[in-house]
Structure 1
Amino acid sequence: MLDFLPAPLKGTLAALLILCNTLVLFPVLLVFALLKLVLPITSVRKGCTVVLSNIAWVWIGFNNLLVDLLHKVDWDVRGVENLSREHWYFVTCNHQSWADIPAIQYVLNSRIPLLKFFLKKQLIWVPLLGVAWWALDFPFMHRHTKEQLAKRPELKGKDVAATQAACEKFRYTPVTIFNFMEGTRFTPEKHNRQNSPYKHLLKPRAGGTAFVLGAMGEMIHTMLDVTIVYPDGRAGFWDYLCGRIRRIIIDVRTREIPGEFLGMDYENNRETRVAFQRWVSEIWAEKDARIEALKAAPTPGPGR
């Protein structure tokens, strides 16, 4: 609707409106977060969790509305027809730019449970945000370093056990855990430095995903394998806000996670570790070929 405005003006307007959206909703979120923190009553905490998730959905929904209002993006979205907010998912995606997260949120918001990330335990002490992450049930990881394990071997396996206990709340509440398997954004320099066997991808880091699946036990059976492509070339978050990204392809493949990897002991079971790395490598090879095909002959879609 306002796509005729100069790109820098659209970007500034979008940033200001997102800031206003945050300033309005964040205090409300903190109120319910504090209620959840100080009232250890199961029914109250569950009610607060529902409200908090809805606040997050509203925040994302408003940001998505800004994209529709300010920009004219040609969205080519595939494979989202049978997704459900009543299901448990593990989501991974190739990492092209800082625009990936808002683009994925645009497509998946309200279609699946709120995207959540495993966070380091220390981040719970970040002012304001730590409380918000806790209130939104972002899972916090308990990871011991190799040096700590060398000094205290009895700690081996306790990090996964502690994280499993923290994830018990998800057994009866659908959740989506998100993780970039590459661990960092793709750049030609990183690609060359890694000597990656893939044309469009960095090497996947199987260990982080294995930790998630091990900690979540048998709660998550389904992986959403998301592939994102910018046919006009990679661009950053500011370009996304300015409307310079004119076309985005998001392809979603639903995969059942093999039972042998649910609740696996990745660190101590070599056979499982090798099998999991092979499975991830196969997924990555397919994704690399898919990106090549999408770049070569992208087909416009009707949008969301």
Structure 2
Amino acid sequence: MLGYLLFIISASLVIINTAFCSIPILGFGLLKLLFPVRPLQKLCTALANRFMWLWATINHGILHLVNPKVEWQIEGMESLRKDGWYLMISNHLSWTDIVVLCSVFKDRIPMPKFFLKQQLLYVPFVGMACWALDMPFMKRYSREYLIRHPEKRGQDLETTRRSCAKFKDTPTTVVNYVEGTRFTAQKQKSSRAGYQYLLQPKSGGIAYTLAAMGDQFENIIDVTLAYPENTDQPFKAVLMGKMKRIVVKVRILPVDEKVLGDYFNDKPYKREFQQWLGEVWQQKDETLKDIHSK
């Protein structure tokens, strides 16, 4: 009963925090839309990012309030800067990942901007606040759909380019969940990717981002997340006060010739890029095996 009571209290606090911080963020977004003056837009972006920082800070406090004994294991963040441009790639386990990433990195790098599915635009408070923060909303098409509607091909790249153009004036961290969906044992079994703790990485999304602003990124931040004692339902565990341990391991990767190239027209480069991403994911799987074995 105590766990479910904590669930109701913590979920209510998160909802109130999200609504409270979303309203001013949306206001700054509307100001940018109504008054397209570069200095004003830059100021509104900075203020909106501060409210996102406040949202992350309050969520971090709620997490600690409900889970006072949670153990944090964080490695590899020493060289990061608040005024840099970064591309972050990460495995994806649950909604908890967004709270954890924002909590861990909010004072180390610019506030993360996530690539979101277009359906999230219609979620109350969250969707419009993410729009006001210039987060890219992606509408993905299946291969079969693109065969029937070839005019839609390349639209995601153009959407990414438009979104990333807004990040050129303000230090930004762009987050890409390379697997494209949250990990579950069933998805892992059906994917037959050969990983124990991961799904098959999808190279298209990260290639879109690198094509749009790869020359501006200082580094790629490769994040490995794990909740070793709460693997099944980590978000529920956090809200019920049952989270035991949160592991965040960071590798800083260079933005070099291995990741910069014409992914969409250069087939040899495309194969090399996919091989590079596969090697990154294989090492991530080994890291997760080590975390869970302990």
Shared fold by TM > 0.5? Answer: yes
Q: How does 1:48-87 map to 2 (within 5 A)?
A: 48-71=44-67, 72-87=69-84
2:199 maps to 1:205: no
Q: Which residue of 1 aligns with 2:288?
A: 291
Distance 1:180 1:156 in 2: 21
Distance verdict in 2 for CA 1:169–1:288, change over 3 Å: same
Amino acid at match of 1:176: T
Which residue of 10, 16, 22 corresponds with 1:14? 10
Distance 2:162 2:278 in 1: 30
Q: Which residue of 1 aligns with 2:32?
A: 36
2:20 maps to 1:24: yes
Distance 2:118 2:182 in 1: 23
Distance 1:187 1:148 in 2: 26
Distance 1:126 1:111 in 2: 29
Q: Which residue of 1 aligns with 2:186?
A: 189
Q: Which residue of 2 aligns with 1:300?
A: none
Q: Which residue of 2 aligns with 1:266?
A: 263
Amino acid at match of 1:241: L
Distance 2:18 2:189 in 1: 39
Amino acid at match of 2:168: R
Could you list the runs of 5+ residues in structure 2 that have no partner in the other structure?
A: none
Distance 1:59 1:231 in 2: 26
Q: Which residue of 2 aligns with 1:97?
A: 94
After TM superposition, give the deviation of residue 172 of structure 1 in Å.
2.7
Q: Which residue of 2 aligns with 1:301?
A: none
After TM superposition, give the deviation of residue 273 of structure 1 in Å.
0.7
Distance 2:119 2:4 in 1: 37
Distance verdict in 2 for CA 1:22–1:199, change over 3 Å: closer
Distance 1:248 1:18 in 2: 19
After TM superposition, give the deviation of residue 16 of structure 1 in Å.
1.5
Amino acid at match of 1:236: P
Distance 1:154 1:101 in 2: 34
Q: Which residue of 2 aligns with 1:302?
A: none
Residues 232 and 245 of structure 1 are in contact (CA less than 8 Å); yes or no, is this contact kept in structure 2? yes
Distance 1:200 1:122 in 2: 27
1:238-258 per-position Cα deviation (integer Å, ceiling 9, x unaligned): 211112111111111111132
Distance verdict in 2 for CA 1:198–1:89, change over 3 Å: same
2:254 maps to 1:226: no
Deviates more, 1:220-229 or 1:148-157: 148-157
Distance verdict in 2 for CA 1:44–1:209, change over 3 Å: same
**RMSD, matched Cα:** 2.6
After TM superposition, give the deviation of residue 29 of structure 1 in Å.
2.1
Distance 1:8 1:125 in 2: 28
Residues 25 and 133 of structure 2 are in contact (CA less than 8 Å); yes or no, is this contact kept in structure 1? no
Distance 1:13 1:130 in 2: 23
Distance 2:225 2:182 in 1: 12
Between the two proteins, the alignment pairs up a number of residues equal to 292
Q: Which residue of 2 aligns with 1:170?
A: 167
1:154-207 per-position Cα deviation (integer Å, ceiling 9, x unaligned): 776565345324422322311111111112222222222121211221111112
Could you list the runs of 5+ residues in structure 1 that have no partner in the other structure?
A: 298-304
Q: Which residue of 2 aligns with 1:237?
A: 235
Residues 221 and 253 of structure 2 are in contact (CA less than 8 Å); yes or no, is this contact kept in structure 1? yes
Tell me which structure has the larger Cα radius of gyration: 1
Distance verdict in 2 for CA 1:145–1:121, change over 3 Å: same
Distance 2:168 2:120 in 1: 24
Q: Which residue of 2 aligns with 1:248?
A: 246
1:124-165 per-position Cα deviation (integer Å, ceiling 9, x unaligned): 677765543232121345777757865786776565345324
Deviates more, 1:126-135 or 1:139-148: 139-148
Distance 1:16 1:156 in 2: 42
Q: Which residue of 2 aligns with 1:216?
A: 213
